[in-house]
Copies of this chain bind each other. A is one copy, B any other.
């Protein structure tokens, strides 16, 4: 098979993010009253800014396994809904208390705290409704629900947020805890996105395992890159409050190891992500490009 002409990965990510945004717009069509206000808050965050890295990863992983992006779209949107809910709840005053997200007022600043809690709850629930309603194959739908719920729940992302808040409030500076937080809070969901692409495409166990390893390393690389950007970039560039980690006493790769060691670790995780793509031929080239792209932002 002749590999398709290569666009820059930034262009591909932008184009694919746009297809995800259109699909989310359809999945989150507001009903008549009484939930119109709620949908407005859900859509504000889900359709607003953001790179849509996770859903695009679902699409690219599915394509790497010979599946179609169309068939992977419900899974992609479900992943993004869960990610969006986590941002909304993390920004709440009782949590990270952040007023800015994607360059705009965060959800509770725009809609009030009660509505933000409920918009998050609504998006989290809707993610599972989408998987159960729009993935035709029941066995795949069930596996997608399990993968997403385990990655997002108490043993994954929610557990990571608990550990993160604990580390912050007790000013803990512990390397083991840092790994746990980064793995649970970010890497596990990015791993799930890659695996869900494999599941929806009906990939073999072998390819699925490769994508799990890829996603796990990519996820760590991404989180370390995010820590570096928080320390190095301005609020204007980030679209969220910069320098906040250090100010809040957050445990990050940069506060723990310094910026140079963090850069080395991010690059090494990206390399390991690319290595994990070994079993794939050129059909996974975009996934490799994506891993490089994620850490290049930090230089």
A234 near B: Cβ within 8 Å?
A: no
Which residues of B sit under 8 angstroms from A66, Cβ to Cβ? Answer: none
B35 & A125 in contact (Cβ 8 Å cutoff): no
Residues of B within 8 A of A129 (CB): 145-146, 149-150, 153
CA distance A138 to B132 in the complex (A): 11
The size of the chain A interface, using a CB distance under 8 A, is 56
Would A161 and B118 be within 8 Å (CB), given that A132-B143, A154-B39 are in contact?
A: yes
| Residues of chain B lying within 8 A (CB to CB) of residue A121 | 85, 89, 120-121, 124, 158
Kindly list chain B residues whose C-beta atoms are within 8 Å of the C-beta of A95: 114, 117
A37 adjacent to chain B (CB < 8 Å): yes
In the complex, what distance in Å separates the CA atom of A105 from the CA atom of B21? 42
Q: Oligomeric state, in number of copies? A: 2
Contact B118 A162 (CB under 8 A): yes
Is A122 close to B, CB under 8 A?
Answer: yes
A181 to chain B, nearest CB (A): 8
Q: List A residues 8-63 near B (Cβ within 8 Å).
A: 31, 33-35, 37-39, 42
Chain B residue numbers with a CB within 8 Å of A132 are 142-143, 145-146, 149
On whether the beta carbons of A114 and B149 are closer than 8 Å, the reply is no
A280 to chain B, nearest CB (A): 27
B115 near A162 with CB under 8 A, answer: yes
Is there contact, CB below 8 Å, between A94 and B122? no
Shortest distance from the beta carbon of A155 to any chain B beta carbon, whole Å: 6
- Residues of chain A from 150 to 194 with CB closer than 8 A to chain B in the complex: 150, 152-155, 158-163, 165-166, 177, 180-181, 184
| Given A114-B165, A125-B152, A126-B154; 18 other pairs, CB 8 A cutoff | A31-B155, A31-B159, A34-B159, A34-B160, A34-B180, A34-B184, A35-B154, A35-B158, A35-B159, A85-B121, A89-B117, A94-B112, A95-B114, A121-B121, A125-B149, A129-B150, A132-B142, A141-B145
